[in-house]
Amino acid sequence: TFRTIDDIERDRRLLVRIDVNAAVEDGTVQDSRRFARHAETIQELLADDHAIALLAHQGRPGRDTFVSLEQHAEILAGHLDHRVEFVPDTDGDDALAAIDDLESGDVLLLENVRMCDGELPEEDPDTKAETDLVRTLAPEFDAYVGDAYSAAHRSHASIVGFPRVMDAYAGRVMEQEYTAITAIREREFDGPVTMVLGGTKAEDSIPIIERLDDTVDRFCLGGVVGELFLRADGHDVGYDVAGTSRFDHQWETYRDDLERILAAYRDELFLPTDLADEDDDGKRREQTLDGIRKTHPFLDVGSETADRYAALASDSAAVFVKGSLGVFEDERFADGTVTVVSAIAEADCFSVVGGGDTARVVELYGFDEEDFSRVSIAGGAYVRALTGEPLAGIDVLEGQH
């Protein structure tokens, strides 16, 4: 266990790590779920008269999602209905001046922490505590609040460094997500448990199948992960227009694991029987596995597969969604994911939607969050927590006792 924001005295100067890392297209943030959740923590902190400086990241150096947090401040202010000042600096003179000016009831967002040298790479907490970032900012505050559950699997300075040298507490998002996901692991269900397992990473899916084998009775595979398993099953899928493979690297790395898992868990693994790609007119085209043509990359599971997965979900005591079945951001290829998520929303079962950007489907296609037991805003952290791996950002908060 860890201490929470309930344990902080009023009117303190707080450094709060949130995770508003979002999908970004053409430089613009596309998704606001994480903002809405963190706004709840910040509201509570404001009610206790704290002065708040927020630390967060967006993207990674080298990617086009690696942008300034200026627009994040505005989005957050909208959710808070409270001014959020932004300073385009994290631990330099401008940041220190803005922190110095902070008064009770103020909210300041510092610049993308991954623009600072010491934030990445992943190193142990003591090494991270020695970074300039931590040494510069820590003395400016009375306490640290870790609220970035969805980044808690990263041993980065802003996640594990500060709690080594400061009084540290878990924020509400951290507390709630942690409690919900821990409860899932310990829960017993009276009936079949289904996992919709899609997305793009074999790396995530292999340990999930192996470690959740006791909990989950059937895995409905889709997305790139589904295609990788189809290939392991001898089907000629996974090619792009030029006929070259788009997941050769994953295939080479994980082929043995995929084949081994397919053989070991065959009865629990459900593979797509049809897939959808884009025809020459840019329309959705469905193909059954038998008559498959290596034309365009597949972007969704077909309707027969989606209906079969939806029926399995409807007949479950619990359903977990990790990763989407297709490129749901594009309406033409959202059918598979939306059909299955609709069945889950209507079903009378325990349900968790999370993993990568998957929970975004809830917002994008107008589902009511109330129709699910939990919509997790975490991606990698959700997966790790589900499979029982420790999260560095939680361990370091627990170490405070």
The least CB distance from residue 334 to ligand 3PG, in Å, is: 21
Stretch of 4-12, 149-157, 259-267, 300-308 contacting ligand 3PG, by CB under 6 A? 149-157
Measured from the CB of residue 14, what is the shortest distance to ligand 3PG in angstroms? 21
Q: Are 158 and 119 in contact (CB under 8 A)?
A: yes
Q: Scanning residues 328 to 387, which ones bind ligand 3PG (CB under 6 A)?
A: 379-380
Interaction of residue 151 with ligand 3PG, rule CB under 6 A: yes
Shorter beta-carbon distance to ligand 3PG: residue 60 or 83: 60
Q: Which helix (H) or strand (E) holds 321?
A: strand 318-322
Question: Is 49 annotated as ligand-binding?
Answer: no
Q: Which two tokens stand for residue 125?
A: 């907490």
How many residues bind ligand 3PG (CB under 6 A)? The answer is: 8
Cβ pair 225, 281 in contact under 8 A: no
Q: CB of 378: closest distance to ligand 3PG in angstroms? A: 7
> Do residues 269 and 209 lie in contact, with contact meaning Cβ atoms separated by under 8 Å?
yes
Among 90, 112, 150, 155, contact with ligand 3PG (rule: CB under 6 A): 150
Residue 72 contacts ligand 3PG per CB under 6 A: no
Q: Which of 60, 83, 249, 266 binds ligand 3PG (CB under 6 A)?
A: 60
Interaction of residue 118 with ligand 3PG, rule CB under 6 A? no
Q: Is the dihedral of CA 360, 365, 370, 373 positive or negative?
A: negative
Q: Which is nearer to ligand 3PG, 159 or 343 (CB)?
A: 159
Residue 193 annotated as part of some ligand binding site: no
**Least distance to ligand 3PG from the beta carbon of 208, Å?**
16
How many angstroms separate the Cα of 177 from the Cα of each of 147, 210, 297, 317, 357?
10, 23, 35, 21, 16
Identify which of residues 58 and 316 has a Cβ nearer to ligand 3PG in the complex.
Answer: 58
- Contact assessment for residue 114 and residue 58, using Cβ atoms and an 8 Å cutoff: yes
What residue spans of 322-370 are helical by DSSP H?
A: 335-346, 360-364
Question: Is 58 known to sit in a ligand binding site?
Answer: yes
Output the six-digit token pair for 334: 């959202």
Q: Minimum Å distance from CB 382 to ligand 3PG?
A: 9
Q: Which stretch binds ligand 3PG (CB under 6 A): 72-80, 147-155, 171-179, 229-237?
A: 147-155
The distance of closest approach from Cβ of residue 363 to ligand 3PG in the complex, given in angstroms and rounded to an integer, is 15
Binds ligand 3PG (CB under 6 A): choice among 72, 154, 231, 284: 154
Q: Does the bond joining 272 to the residue before it have cis omega, within 30 degrees of 0?
A: no
Contacts of 379 by beta carbon, 8 Å cutoff, 6+ apart: 150, 354, 355, 356, 357, 358
* Beta carbons within 8 Å of 232's beta carbon, 6+ residues apart: 255, 258, 259, 262
d(CA 299, CA 168): 44
Say how many C-beta atoms besides its own lie within 10 A of residue 112's C-beta: 23
Verify binding: residue 21, ligand 3PG, rule CB under 6 A: yes
Work out how close the CB of 163 gets to ligand 3PG at its nearest, in angstroms, rounded to a whole number: 18
Does 243 count as an annotated binding residue?
no
CB atoms within 10 A of CB 229: 26
Tokens of 54: 């927020």
Minimum distance of ligand 3PG from residue 156's CB (angstroms):
8
Residues near ligand 3PG (CB under 6 A) are 19, 21, 60, 150-151, 154, 379-380
User: What are the binding residues for (2R)-3-phosphoglycerate?
Assistant: 34, 114, 154
Residue ranges at the known binding site for substrate: 19-21, 34, 57-60, 114, 154
